[in-house]
Every structure is written in structure tokens, then in C-alpha cells.
Chains A and B, each alone.
Chain A
Amino acid sequence: MNAMGFAWRSLVRQPARASLGVLGVAAVGALLFDMLLLSQGLVISMRDLFERTGFDLRVTATDSLPGQGPLIPNAVADAQAIAKLPTVRSAIALRFANASILNGGQRGFYTSFQGVAGTGEHPWTILRGRDMGTGAELVINENISTRLRLEPGARVVLRAFCTSEEQALPPVPFTVAGVAQFPFDTPNGATLATSLEMLANACGGNESDDADVIMVASQESAGPAAAVADVAKLLPDLRVLSNAEAVNRFERGGFTYFRQISTVLTTVTLSFAVLLITVLLTVSINQRLGEIAALRALGFSRWRVVADVLCESVLIVGGGGLLSLPLGGLLAAGLDNILKRIPGIPAQVHFFVFEPGALRVHLLLLAATAVIAALYPIRIVARLPIAATLRDEVVG
């Protein structure tokens, strides 16, 4: 019988402790797996979201996030100039404001309000109806449609807030052209969009060519790096960020907290697992010293009994590790649901995202745990004095 078969029989002989050991590793492994998913989940999710919008570059007036810094003056002309660059496929200018839909009662229904101009596709997906055309048309998100019972063709009157909520701008009528999904919408967020010109009108007609951000799609043959260089050369006063740079900046921002906490919990979880499996194996080995000495006396080599202990550790950690994957998946879904309630998090962003790299690291860490946890029991077995142990057993 080989070492693995022998270790299996040793575990099966004591099913309660073996099962509990495997279950313990499964629970710890699930937590470990989730922490690995959390460590990069938000960044991967944000990168996916950026890429799904179809734009590679973001051009802003300052280093501030779009909507939080000053407007880009003459952004429509800049977007047109950018779109003509050979490395660029299309460019759109986006301006962000807020609005109150006055159909929603006396105080109105508060929403974010976007205006877009340029040659590229709009950064939203039409769910019902059609995209906005020229004139006073807009698209609304599903939350507005549900809350205010608005469908394509409905008329709405809204009051825009463009610089501060203390403004008293006149209400403006619009027609709903379609219902759309906006990539950065929060689960309960209300968003509507129209053309940049109509937004500027709603904002009182000032700064009609200004925008918060110009979003640029690079030519596939050129790639985003070449487009970044070209746009930066064309508009040296503006800040140009590729998706990768934006994700990098995001990674360095406040949400690094989750990466740090995942590192701390991964370390604690692994130490916990190593300690407990070491104790489990050591106690188990101590109870079987006589048996192991007898096997040695019967001709089992030192390496063979060491292999038995190592295989026992591998079986416990391996069994628990396998169970930890579905358990970790379920736990990640639950924890993701909890964290997604943080206000301002887009509905399509997830904190726990599966990637093959996380699974590889998980398996590597579990393998290392199995080996490290077996080191001390292996030492006991390897140094076991055969005659003295057998005599002690008989005398005891």
C-alpha cells in the first residue's frame, strides 16, 4: 500500500476528527479564497466597467475626477479635434449636472443629469425605445422609469442644477426617447441624459461648449498608449488618462483599504490554518507513536512514515481546500451583497471577482499550508526512537 492509501486509511479509521479537520480547513479556506478575490476584485471590476463603455481615454481639465473639477472650456471643439487624430476612432464630450424632474411631485425627483456631444457611441445601452435624437429628447434609466412610471414617449419637465443647488433655473420640457442602462449607475441611482446643447440650455445657456470630460476611443491598430501621446500633444493643458492609468489611480485611492484588509486577513487566516492543522496532526501523531514505532520495527523506512504524515496533511488540507471553493463562492456572493450597499458604488461593480490567478494563489497557499503544518509532526516521526517507544508502550 502506498503512502497516500495508508494516510487515507488512517483518516477513515477516525472519521469524526478527520471530518472536523476537513470542515475546519474548508471554512478557513473559504475565507482565504474570498480574501484573494477581494484583494483585486474591485480593481478588476472597475477595469471591466471602463472597458465595457467602449472608451480607452479620459481627458479632463485637472487631476480631479470627472464632475468634481473644473469644466474643460470649448470641449466640443476639442473633442472634434481629437476625433480627427489618426490614432483615435471617436471622441465624445460629457458634462455632468443634477436635475429635479418636476413630474415627481412638488419637490421633484432628484437625478443626475448628463449631456453628451461628439462622434462616438453614447456611453449607455438602450433597453427600451430608442436613443435620443436632436431636439429636447432624453434617455432615462430604469430607476426613473419605475419610480415615475415614465416610458418612451412620455413628457417630462425638469429643473437643472448646474453649479449649485441654490440656483433657480427655469424648468425645461423634454420628451423621453428611451430607457437606458448607464454603466456607472448606483443600484438606486437616478440618471438621465440628453445632448450637451440641451443640457447647456437647461443650465441657462452659459458654458454651452464646456464639458467635464472628453471620452476617447482609440483606433484598435494604434492602441491607447499612442492615442494618449497624440491627445496630450494636441491639448497639452489638459490631463489625459488611459483606462489602465485610471484604474491605477483608483487602485491607489481610498479603496486600497479592501486590498490591505484582505492582506491582513489572508495572513491571519493562513497562520490560523497552519497552527490548527499542526496541532491536529501533532496530537494525532502523539496518539499513534506506538503504532508508528511498530511499523518502523516491521521494516517501514523513516522516509515512508514521514511520507505517511505528509500525505495525511495533504489529504486534510486538500479535502478542505476542494470544499472551500464552493463554500467560498457562496460566502463571496453574500459578502459582495453586503459591501455593495456602500453608497455611491455602481451597480455593475463587484468587490469579489473570480480570476484564475486568485485560484492559483489559493492552491499554492493551501499546498504551502499542508507542507508547513506537517513539518513539526514529521520531525517527531522522523526522530522517533523505535525501541524506547515500543518499550514505553508495553510498560505503559
Chain B
Amino acid sequence: MILRRIVIALAAVVTAAATLHAADDLPSILISRQLSESEHIAVGDVVRLSASADGTSPRPFRVSGVYEPTPDPARLGAVIREVQLHLPDLLTLTREPGIPAGSEYVQTINVALVDPADAAAFSREIQARMPGVSAQPATGAAESTGPFLVLRRFHLAIAIVTIVASTVFLLALTIMLVDERRAAVGVLRLIGLPIRRIIVQLFIEGALIATIGSLFGLVLSLVSEGLINRFFQWRYDTALVFVHVTPEVAAICVAIAVPLGVSATVVASWALLRRNGLRLARR
């Protein structure tokens, strides 16, 4: 196991931002972009931090950098005013008087494995060896938590309703389009083309239209992906990605849309083709 990084975010209170020249011997901190913008703190500034709300026992720190916080859907809409300290500095700042150094605890330890594929086995082993400690692979952790599962189900339900509405409209349209070609189909029947041959032709037509429509839909979704992401990123001041058209999602869309389009064409044509050729050709 390689312990690579321990990062603790401190919900500290910035009690004062001084524009003093940076003192090299001061401990360094990183501040979030939002905090930098809202409090007008720049790299090199010296700030005083206190762990208590009333600002008692403040300690000076030098701002060595400004960072973009890792996007967190659970904090959507919140202005992330955050400071990152070196762990020993944080423990010194937050330690109660009379508590000996070294008796503190941390909430989370982030672990980088040599082989990320071992994450599941590693977490099982940790939980078996250290009862009371929860170890969870970072990959997929977000999707496995309640809010994201619920949102996924919600979006799936919306998608199903949209597909149902589209199917109904598609059927209405194909019925009209097939009906428009009633006379042409009647003539084809009268000149001897079997029903099977005409159905194959309509099937190919339906498949072509559905494929082109699906591709157009994918292009539209890729364009709107950028627009939606840009809008929501601007709206919530976050780097979070809201819409991501993955190859899997695109494949599922095509796999649903093409058979639906073809089925609608064939179903709409079937009622027409059962009629007599003369009736179809009659004006």
C-alpha cells in the first residue's frame, strides 16, 4: 500500500486578509478560486485563520496558490470557500488546549494503489482487518450513492415518457406518409410485385430514414451537450459536467431509435398492404 496523499479540507473562517508581503517562514496554504474571488485574496498574500467562529487564536498563513475545487454534485449551488492546509498545520490549528500532539484523528485517508484494479479487493481486505473502518473504491463511488441513483432513475423515467410520446407521433406520421403513397403502392401491386417485395422496400426505406434520423439526433445531442454543460457550469460556477454523451449512451439511443422507426413504418404499411391492389390504385 502506498499512502500518497492526505488532504483535509478545513471549513475555516478567514478572519482577515492582509496585504503584507509574504514571509517565507510562514506555513503555506491553497485557497479555492471562489474564496480568492469573493475575498480578493491573491497568491502571496498573508491571511490569518482561526478554527473558531469568533476568530480567536488566529494563525498567519501565506497563500501559495489558488485551486479549482474538485467538482462535487452534492455541493451544487454552494459557493465553495475552502482552504487546503498541510495536515500538521491543520492539526496544530484545530488542536484543543491541553490535548497532546499526535492524539488527533482524521476523517478520511485517500489511498492510491499501485494497481487501481485491486481497489475492490483492497477495500474488502481493509474492512476485514480493521472493523469500524469503511473502505470504498473511489471509482464508481459517486454513482453508487443515493442521490445519483435516484436522479438516474428519474432521468430514465423521463426518457421512457419521451420515447412513448415519440413513438406515438412516429406512428401517426408513418401512417400519413404511407397513406400518401397509397396509389403508388396500388400500382406496384397491380403490376405484379408481391406484398413481401413491397414490404422489404418499405422496410429498407424505414431503416434508412430511422438511421439518418438517429445520426441527426446524435449530432444534435452532441451540440446540445456542450451548450447545456456551458450553461449549467456558468449558472452554478462549477467545473461539474452535467451531460456526457458516452459511446454507450449513443449506442443505446441508436439501438432504440432505429428499430422503433423501422417497426413504425412496417406496422403502418401493413394495414395498407392488406387492401386490394385495385382499391389502393383507385383515385
Contacts and interface: CB of A to CB of B under 8 A. Distances in A.
Contacts of A16: 172, 175
Interface in B153-173: 153-154, 157-158, 161-162, 164-166, 168-169, 171-173
B276 to A, nearest CB: 19
Interface stretch (B29-37, B38-46, B60-68, B176-184): B176-184
Interface size of A as a range: 35 or more
Contact of A283 (B146, B180, B235): B180
B164 A342 contact: no
A233 interface: no
Given A24-B165, A252-B77, A257-B76, A342 B146 contact: yes
A334 interface: yes
B78 interface: yes
B176 A280 contact: yes
Nearest to B227: A264
B173 A339 contact: no
Given A24-B169, A283-B180, A342 B53 contact: no
A279 interface: yes
Contacts, number: 89
B186 to A, nearest CB: 14
B161 A17 contact: no
Interface in A149-194: 166
A331 interface: yes
Interface string A253-264: 111110010001
B105 A341 contact: no
Contact of A254 (B76, B162, B168, B171): B76
A331 B161 contact: yes
A27 B176 contact: no
A335 B176 contact: no
Contacts of B161: 27, 30-31, 331
A329 interface: no
Contact of B180 (A61, A264, A287): A287
A16 B176 CA distance: 10
Interface residues of B, number: 34
A232 interface: no
A29 to B, nearest CB: 9
A286 B179 CA distance: 12
A43 B75 CA distance: 18
A20 B169 contact: yes
A54 B240 CA distance: 39
Contacts of A17: 172, 175-176, 179
A357 B176 CA distance: 37
Q: Provide the main secondary structure of the chain B interface.
A: helix
Contacts of B241: none
B122 interface: no
Contacts of B76: 254, 257
B180 A334 contact: no
A342 B168 CA distance: 32
Interface in B127-170: 146-147, 149-151, 153-154, 157-158, 161-162, 164-166, 168-169
A24 B150 CA distance: 27
A287 B168 contact: no
A339 B150 contact: yes
Give 10 nearest A-B pairs by CB, closest first. A20-B172, A27-B165, A24-B169, A24-B168, A254-B77, A343-B146, A70-B53, A276-B169, A254-B76, A283-B176
Given A286-B180, A338-B154, A342-B150, 18 more contacts: A17-B176, A20-B169, A21-B169, A24-B169, A24-B172, A27-B164, A28-B165, A30-B161, A31-B158, A31-B161, A253-B78, A260-B235, A272-B162, A280-B173, A341-B146, A341-B149, A341-B150, A342-B147
